[in-house]
Amino acid sequence: MTLLVEKRGAAGWIVFNQPTKKNAISGAMWRAIPPAMEAFDRDPQVRCIVFRGAGSEAFAAGADISEFESVRSDRSAITEYDELLDRVLHSIQDSLKPSVALIHGYCLGGGLEIALACDLRYCGSLAQFGIPAAKLGLAYNVEGHKRLLETVGHAWAREIMFLGRRYDAFEASGMGLVHRVLPDGELEAYVDGVIETLCRNAPLAIANTKTVLEEYVKSEGEPDMARMRAAIERCAKSADYIEGRRAFMEKRKPRFSGK
């Protein structure tokens, strides 16, 4: 099973389990998340939801790039994939139960998107963060930009996206990407304490805060969706995007031409 879903006491756990690929998230794993979230949402015994990666090397090193050629190459496949991601991230964000990302090691691309859809993020000191879309020629989605912007602000959002580099745990903490950095050996016990508190506190008070904060971050005025979609389309159709994913699979540096 590449996605483990289980209840431990009053917490629902969702574990990315593809350790040979640094827990990269395949289509099957993405698709299994919304039903798992729905089951936890319906279950009155579940008071919070925790995401983590199997082992301690990675939370998730992004979406599974080896599948991109088949599931994320032409426009309709990309739209389908983006819609799937949207469903997944909204199933986490819109849940009225609090969610926690417990982050060991790599937390990249789609892995960071999941963490950003969670309410709380705690990481070990060896964790690494990044969104390498610009290194892959990948058109990063609209709501992913919004979650990043709401979490770290304009200045960091631009640097993270433009440079596509990796940030260590302390840099991530400095920009507000995670709530707290713990020594790796102490992370799990710390998060257990957070889970205990979340499970003890009043569910409706937490649900109330989630609802009110979500309403406050709604944009004022409509963003120009057509303009955003056109930018995504141009990038998604580009030769550079083909080059980016091939270069990753062939373990070489990409040569981008801007076309």
CB of 228 to ligand COA, least distance (A): 19
Nearest to 48 by CA among 108, 92, 2: 92
Establish if 108 lies at the interface with ligand COA (CB under 6 A).
yes
Q: Which is nearer to ligand COA, 64 or 82 (CB)?
A: 64
Task: Find the part of the chain contacting ligand COA (CB under 6 A) among 20-28, 83-91, 216-224, 232-240.
Answer: 20-28
**Which residues inside 39-98 make contact with ligand COA, applying CB under 6 A?**
61-66
Establish if 21 lies at the interface with ligand COA (CB under 6 A).
yes
CB of 12 to ligand COA, least distance (A): 25
Give me the DSSP letters along the chain: --EEEEEETTEEEEEE--GGGTT-B-HHHHHHHHHHHHHHHH-TT--EEEEEESSSSEEE-SB-GGGHHHHSSSHHHHHHHHHHHHHHHHHHHT-SS-EEEEE-SEEETHHHHHHHHSSEEEEETT-EEE-THHHHT----HHHHHHHHHHHHHHHHHHHHHH---EEHHHHHHTTSSSEEE-GGGHHHHHHHHHHHHHHS-HHHHHHHHHHHHHHTSPSS---HHHHHHHHHHHHTSHHHHHHHHHHHTTS-------
d(CA 42, CA 53): 24
Q: Which is nearer to ligand COA, 12 or 111 (CB)?
A: 111
Q: Which is nearer to ligand COA, 109 or 124 (CB)?
A: 109
d(CA 192, CA 38): 23
Establish if 22 lies at the interface with ligand COA (CB under 6 A).
yes
Task: Find the part of the chain contacting ligand COA (CB under 6 A) among 21-29, 40-48, 191-199, 227-235.
Answer: 21-29
Nearby residues of 162 by Cβ (< 8 Å), 6 or more positions away: 134
Q: Which is nearer to ligand COA, 46 or 177 (CB)?
A: 177
Q: Which is nearer to ligand COA, 21 or 165 (CB)?
A: 21
CB of 245 to ligand COA, least distance (A): 9
Q: Which is nearer to ligand COA, 11 or 136 (CB)?
A: 136
Establish if 109 lies at the interface with ligand COA (CB under 6 A).
yes
CB of 154 to ligand COA, least distance (A): 22
How big is the site for ligand COA, counted in residues (CB under 6 A)? 15
CB of 23 to ligand COA, least distance (A): 8
Q: Which is nearer to ligand COA, 41 or 243 (CB)?
A: 243
Residue with tokens 């801007």: 258
**Which residues inside 127-146 make contact with ligand COA, applying CB under 6 A?**
132, 136
* Positions in the binding site for ligand COA (CB under 6 A): 21-22, 24, 61-66, 106, 108-110, 132, 136
